Structure 1
Amino acid sequence: MRKIYIQALVIFCASLSMAQSPITLTAVNFPGSNDTLRYTNAQLSSVGNYTQTGTNFTWNYSNLVYSSQGVRDFKLALQTPYAFFFFGFNEYGEKIADNITAGPLTITNYYNYYKKQTSPVNAFVADGIGMTFSSVPVPSYYSDKDELYIFPLTYSNYDSTSFKFSTPTTTALPFTYKKTGYRVTKADGWGTITTPYGTANCLRIVTTQYSQDTIKYNAFSFGFPNNQRSYQWLTIGEKIPYLEVSGALAGANFTPNQARYRDNYQNPAGVRENNDLSAIEFYPNPGKDKLWLNFTRNGEFFVEVLGMDGKTIKAADLNSLNTAQSIDISELSPAIYIIKVREKQSVYFYKFIKE
């Protein structure tokens, strides 16, 4: 208990010394050219109450549990594959995915493009999308920009803006993707936030996208609502949210599907290993071709093989009732790897060596 009290006292003192008035954010506080910003995905069950807010408020998310890591990499538009279409020194591209599959469609090299503009609205906007279909580049601008953040951004700001986007309508492409709608953003709190990354002054915003999306493929067309909400804690120096909890909105019901916070590189080898083999036994270790798994109790398990950089290499849903279960490791390079086992709300980590 003493350790918990000391941690709470440290957070309380840090909060008193920091947040005295709400911060104000401008374009310089958001991503620009060559910004490489790492984040950690947290287990949703570890987030707690993300709706709480107030003035000079203290948010304590120091107990967020690591799940995986990622990087947001912003490049000058001229350095991206769609530089022939998106250009300008205040235009930035971020690669979202190598491949996206939707039914019969496979999209590659998917980029979002952002822009810092001062007119007609001083804002950080979603300016366009670049994608490739059957080796054909398909870049497009928003005909009505999506203002993600309007400046100056400070406590009690309330903005409602529209957006509209469509891929080119041409016989050369068998599909069209359109989205139209509006975004409501409210800065509903300010204070200090603590995560495993640290403690900082912050502005809390809630931004909600209300969108009607339409996909047309050959003679078939279907539309669907795409309403998304994001709770964000923004700071002066980190450029992406210090913490973000996002998910889908259906009517008044919000379902979070992602929680991620700004972070430094975390080596999975630094995660405490479960030496008691409380969930799983595996052999041989070291191994060459297959890693055989034996669960020590009944249940459903999600098993991942992680590299030392934290990236998932293999994953599988396994049932302890099935016998002779194994993971093929023959294609892995000789190195140390991490087995991550998720059982309901518990997570276990084990090391193994690939010869």
Structure 2
Amino acid sequence: MRHSYSFLFSAFLTASSLAAQAQTPISITRDDMPNVGDTLRVSQTVQLSGPSLNTRGANQTWNYASLRPLTQRMANYQSVASTPTLLQLTFGSLLSGSNRATIANRYDLTTLQDLGLPVGNVYGFFNESANDYRQVGFGVPVPTGTTTIDAPVTYRNQQSQDVVYRFPVTYEKTDSSESEFAIDLPGTAYLRDQQKRVNRADAWGTLITPFGTFATLRVVSTLYTRDSVSVSGAPGVIVTRPVSREYKWLGKNQGIPLLQVTTQLVAGNEVVTSVVYRDIYRRTGGVLAANNALAEKTVAAYPNPLPATADLRLLLPEAGPATLTATDLAGRLLFRQTLASATKETVVPAAAFGSFSGVALLRVQTAAGVAVRRVVRE
């Protein structure tokens, strides 16, 4: 009987601790951002089940314990001094000035892939200070003959850098920033990106995911983006991207959001396009689990979002046989195509999607491996 009372007392203390934790909103500072040497595992999916994203206000409980990963990756943060020499000169402490970064990581710049530009796996450079956490530039891989170099890309000026958070981040705080950068790959592609970010800390409370239970502050970032794009020397076009929102649940000493849900406004509806959350290692049962996954930059699907009457263009790693399979988020088959001799640039006609609108998962299988791309059809 003593053990039963001991267990109940322990459970009571745990519940009381969580309740006390939930009744006090946290604030986010520089100390809660990533540190050099952090290796953080995240799970990724496109399916969200649980409380509505419209649940906001004080002392909320968001239970997303039913999340299941499609894939996993590691978010690795490194020192600027460990990046290629040219990038060190641009973003290091010696010559960088307003472009000085304190931390770097490598990731795929989906803006470029959604526009069909053959660039991926960029370096992102960030500056952490007591005032804010901002992106100061990129390192973009540029082919030069038989090799590739990482070329620095900076924002137009310090006032045009992307301020991700202004510290301290507290409940009901609102701020904004406007950013602009350009990427020029001579003879290949040109991109000018202009963005307005509006942040609002609209809720706080307890977040429950497969990773655990945490006291969190939720920040919603609304992104308004306009691109000027030119590919292979063709005349440039202006692309106004759909309004995007990042719902981010931030915790103390976590480095990155414990949960981030990204949405896009499609035909007047807010559609979930990405779900990323902190996690432990899990065997993913996703479509890539038993296959050779292709690197992000080797397969591009564009334009994305895709107008209902537009054909979808695919850039493949090589010409040859390919199988294309599209499903909706519930797993229902939209179409399957087997191409005996696909070219490196393949066109999927608009008719293949029928009347479907929303988020589709496109599985591309080639001799080189398998890739899954998210396609938003308006």
1:139 aligned residue (134, 152, 158): 152
Amino acid at match of 1:213: D
Q: How many residues align?
A: 281
Aligned ranges 1:156-171 → 2 under 5 Å: 156-167=172-183
Q: Distance in 2 between matches of 1:105 and 1:235?
A: 35
Q: Is the 8 A contact 1:166 1:179 kept in 2?
A: yes
SS in 1 for 2:230: strand
Higher helix share: 2
Q: Is the 8 A contact 1:22 1:191 kept in 2?
A: yes
Q: Which residue number corresponds to residue 325 of structure 2?
A: 317
Q: Distance in 2 between matches of 1:13 and 1:311?
A: 47
- What are the superposed Cα offsets for residues 57-102 of structure 1, whole Å, 9 maximum, x if unpaired? 1111112223221111111122123323221385222211399657
Q: Is 2:276 aligned against 1:260?
A: yes
Cα 1:115–1:10, aligned 2, differ >3 Å: closer, same or farther? Answer: same
Q: Distance in 1 between matches of 2:91 and 2:13?
A: 47
Q: Which residue number corresponds to residue 124 of structure 1?
A: 133
Amino acid at match of 2:126: Y
Q: Is 2:206 aligned against 1:192?
A: yes
Q: When the two structures are superposed, what TM-score results if normalisation uses the length of structure 2?
A: 0.64
Shift of 1:131: 0.6
Q: Is the 8 A contact 1:15 1:58 kept in 2?
A: no
Q: Distance in 2 between matches of 1:252 and 1:113?
A: 34
Q: Is the 8 A contact 2:265 2:271 kept in 1?
A: yes
Q: Is the 8 A contact 1:92 1:114 kept in 2?
A: yes
Shift of 1:14: 6.0
Higher mean displacement: 42-51 or 196-205: 42-51
Question: What's the % identity of the aligned pairs?
Answer: 26
1:31 aligned residue (20, 29, 34): 34
SS in 2 for 1:84: helix
Q: Is the 8 A contact 2:67 2:210 kept in 1?
A: yes
* Rg larger for: 1
Amino acid at match of 1:139: P
Shift of 1:191: 1.1
- What are the superposed Cα offsets for residues 150-181 of structure 1, whole Å, 9 maximum, x if unpaired? 0011101000221111235x9x5653211113
RMSD over aligned Cα atoms = 3.7
Amino acid at match of 2:128: K
Q: Distance in 2 between matches of 1:257 and 1:189?
A: 22
Higher strand share: 1
Cα 1:109–1:201, aligned 2, differ >3 Å: closer, same or farther? Answer: closer
Q: Is the 8 A contact 1:108 1:133 kept in 2?
A: no
1:181 aligned residue (180, 195, 202): 195
Q: When the two structures are superposed, what TM-score results if normalisation uses the length of structure 1?
A: 0.68
